[in-house]
């Protein structure tokens, strides 16, 4: 069984991955702080979620934190930064 190496929560300043772009709420930045499953299990689960910090035009420069379904968290966004753990776990995997 594969281990979820992104399963330990990180601080806002050290996310596993950063996605940016123009999402449903305007200019958006999503920082992935924790994943709950391996990518293989996420693909099987339409309700898979990540713990994220989100900043958008509606948060006025601050971040809102909480769980989000993966598809909703990164809708319209592009991966711009990734930790070594993220690259190891998600390399070659379309989120």
Q: How far is residue 90's CA from residue 95's CA, in Å, rounded to a whole number?
A: 8
Per-residue confidence in pLDDT tens, the chain, 95 aa: 689 999 999 999 999 999 999 988 889 999 999 999 999 999 999 999 999 999 999 998 899 999 999 999 999 999 999 999 999 999 866 55
Position 94 scores a pLDDT of: 53
CA 34 to chain centre: 8
Which residues, 6+ apart, have CB-to-CB distance to 60 below 8 Å?
none
Read off the tokens for 35: 């994943």
Picking from 82, 92, 75, the residue whose alpha carbon sits closest to that of residue 35 is 82
pLDDT of residue 93: 64
């Amino acid at each position: 069984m594969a281990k979820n190496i992104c399963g330990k929560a990180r601080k806002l300043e050290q996310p596993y991955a950063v996605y940016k772009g123009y999402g449903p709420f305007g200019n958006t930045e999503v920082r992935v702080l924790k994943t709950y499953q391996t990518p293989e299990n996420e693909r099987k689960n339409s309700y898979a979620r990540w713990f994220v910090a989100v900043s958008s035009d509606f948060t006025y420069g601050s971040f809102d934190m909480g769980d989000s379904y993966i598809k909703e968290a990164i809708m319209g966004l592009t991966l711009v930064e990734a930790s070594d753990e993220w690259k190891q776990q998600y390399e070659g995997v379309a989120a």
